[in-house]
């Protein structure tokens, strides 16, 4: 499969193309991880001792392809860090992204999804951009994210060892469960919307190959030490893949139980 600015196949055009460096990690105290990243009524998957950090580089090719206009990076590209864990919601295996931060405002903020600002950089290997090095065994990929005040959120690396078919990537890594939280100023800031929503795609995510490798992961001091409070953790074998899709809508999965300050300050 060749991903480019126009289409993957003759009949399909994709609005969003993303590189994702995924670094899972395992903790010694699952209850601490779940307290930080798994709001009720969501349930842990398995032992609930696995979390993950996604470093994401996104390009919006539909906005790049405006005849007669050069691509505007402020509108057509953004970077993101997403921290969460696999979970069970409504009896299905999904991936919840509890903490998200982008390097600029996007539609996610307008839809009420809890996203904030951080400056994220990822090794440039995007297949739709010419002149970027390709991925192969031995290549090291790096993702790092800082908040606007300079404090590091997380830094991760992966040294590529081999590839696997896209079909072998767990299904819960191909779902995007988010939190929506909008307050009502007319009611003293009480939540108007407080739920979990799943991204609905008109067509399944398109992916090619999943690169695997050995990883490192270091959390910074942001979030008032939230990620330090989870206790000892060990980075696991990671993933790097490129996906393409058309975004459809948000579908409510469950209501949030109680109110907690899940978002970053």
pLDDT digits (tens, 9 = 90+) for 128-165: 544 445 788 988 999 999 888 888 889 999 999 999 99
Quick one: pLDDT at residue 4?
A: 39
User: Which tops the pLDDT comparison, 155 or 263?
Assistant: 155
User: Which tops the pLDDT comparison, 77 or 230?
Assistant: 230
Structure tokens at 30: 């699952």
Residue 256's nearest CA partner among 72, 89, 64 is 89
Domain 16-255 has CATH 2.40.400.10: yes
Long-range contacts of 225-228 (CB under 8 A, 24+ apart): 226/36, 227/36, 227/83, 227/154
Quick one: pLDDT at residue 109?
A: 46
Quick one: pLDDT at residue 130?
A: 46
Query: What's the distance, Cα to Cα, between the start and end of the chain in Å?
Result: 41
The domain segmentation of the chain, as residue ranges, is: 16-255
pLDDT at 86 over 50: yes
Report residue 75's pLDDT band, with 50, 70 and 90 as the boundaries.
low
Rounded Cα gap, residues 20 and 228, in angstroms: 24
pTM: 0.84
In the structure, how many helices (H) and strands (E) does the chain have?
Answer: 4, 16
Q: How many other C-beta atoms lie within 10 A of the C-beta of residue 231? A: 12
pLDDT at 262 over 90: no
Structure tokens at 211: 């690169």
Rounded Cα gap, residues 220 and 222, in angstroms: 6
Residue 227's nearest CA partner among 169, 168, 153 is 153
């Amino acid at each position: 499969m060749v991903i480019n600015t126009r289409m993957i196949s003759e009949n399909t055009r994709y609005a969003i193309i993303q590189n994702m460096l995924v670094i899972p990690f395992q903790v010694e105290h699952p209850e601490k991880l779940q307290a930080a990243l798994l709001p009720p009524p969501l349930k842990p998957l398995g032992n609930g001792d696995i979390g993950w950090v996604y470093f994401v580089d996104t390009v919006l090719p539909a906005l790049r392809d405006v005849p007669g206009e050069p691509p505007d990076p402020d509108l057509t590209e953004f970077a993101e860090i997403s921290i969460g864990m696999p979970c069970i919601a409504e009896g299905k295996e999904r991936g919840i992204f509890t903490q998200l931060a982008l390097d600029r405002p996007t539609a996610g903020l307008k839809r009420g999804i809890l996203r904030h600002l951080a400056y994220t950089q990822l090794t440039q290997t995007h297949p739709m951009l010419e002149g970027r090095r390709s991925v192969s065994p031995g290549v090291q990929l790096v993702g790092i994210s800082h908040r606007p005040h300079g404090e590091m959120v997380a830094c991760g690396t992966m040294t590529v060892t081999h590839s696997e078919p896209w079909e072998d990537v767990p299904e819960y890594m191909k779902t995007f469960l988010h939190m929506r939280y909008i307050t009502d100023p007319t009611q003293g800031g009480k939540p108007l919307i407080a739920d979990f929503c799943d991204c609905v795609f008109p067509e399944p995510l398109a992916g090619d190959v999943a690169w695997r490798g050995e990883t490192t992961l270091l959390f910074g001091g942001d979030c008032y030490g939230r990620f330090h409070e989870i206790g000892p953790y060990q980075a696991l074998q990671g993933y790097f893949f490129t996906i393409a899709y058309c975004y459809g809508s948000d579908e409510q999965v469950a209501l949030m139980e109680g109110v907690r300050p899940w978002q970053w300050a």
